[in-house]
Amino acid sequence: MGKERMTVLLSDLEIARRVKELAAEISREYAGGKVTLVCVLKGAVVFASDLMRCLEIPVEIDFMAVSSYGSETKSSGAVRILKDLDSSILGKDLLIVEDIVDTGLTLDYICKNLLSRKPRSLKVVTLLDKPARRKVKFTPDFCGFEIPDHFVIGYGLDFNEDYRQLPGICILQPEP
Ligand code: 5GP
């Protein structure tokens, strides 16, 4: 680990409260049906596991991994599937679970890719949104928190694979 400074942006309690609210909204949206969560690895794994335990409807989960940043903090824009879903999504109500929307390029790619496999419906929930950095028009259907343009870590989010286990979300700044 290099020399970095961390400032808490969202505490574990704030996140837990908001996750419960999101789960209630999502449970209402899919009431009477079943939702298939598509968890985008690895960053969304903590959010997805908390969210699914708060949902009041039948749930399935599948996982997908795509490349985005590599070891840098700036998006290259290139997206590649590293791990595809295990099951067919034909006719299913899909909810993509993402940690953060930044430029929007990753979700734009994932949505187009999954829509071509003909799910019944496709929506997106993201814990965090940085709308200031959008490169493509993309609006999540459900969003936990809109945040300013900072690089954040914790609650599943990493910097070079470190810090994913932090219970809250912190801003990571290089030491001047
Ligand atoms: P986008 O394609 O929207 O630019 O980026 C989406 C992906 O970039 C996220 O799933 C996440 O992996 C990564 N990302 C974007 N912003 C941040 C950030 O502030 N912190 C971390 N750790 N990852 C980020």
pLDDT digits (tens, 9 = 90+) for 67-98: 865 445 455 567 889 999 999 999 999 999 99
CATH number for the domain that contains residue 52 = 3.40.50.2020
Per-residue model confidence (pLDDT) at position 176: 72
**In this structure, is residue 34 part of a structural domain?**
yes
**In this structure, is residue 155 part of a structural domain?**
no
Instruction: Provide residues with CB under 6 Å of ligand 1.
Output: 43, 68-69, 75, 98-106, 151-153, 157-159
Residue identifier of the C-alpha nearest atom 10 of ligand 1: 100
**In this structure, is residue 87 part of a structural domain?**
yes
The residue among 160, 155, 135 whose CA lies nearest residue 145 is 155
Per-residue model confidence (pLDDT) at position 156: 98
Catalytic hit among 99, 102, 129, 158: 102
Number of domains making up the chain: 1
**In this structure, is residue 156 part of a structural domain?**
no
In terms of Cβ atoms closer than 10 Å to its own Cβ (0-12, 13-18, 19+), residue 94 is: buried
**In this structure, is residue 163 part of a structural domain?**
no
**In this structure, is residue 174 part of a structural domain?**
no
Q: How far is the CA of 128 from the centre of ligand 1 (A)?
A: 9
Q: How far is the CA of 100 from the centre of ligand 1 (A)?
A: 6
**In this structure, is residue 166 part of a structural domain?**
no
Mean pLDDT of the chain: 93
**In this structure, is residue 90 part of a structural domain?**
yes
By residue range, what is the domain housing residue 47? 12-148
> In this structure, are residues 150 and 132 in contact, taking their beta carbons and an 8 Å threshold?
no
Q: How far is the CA of 152 from the centre of ligand 1 (A)?
A: 9
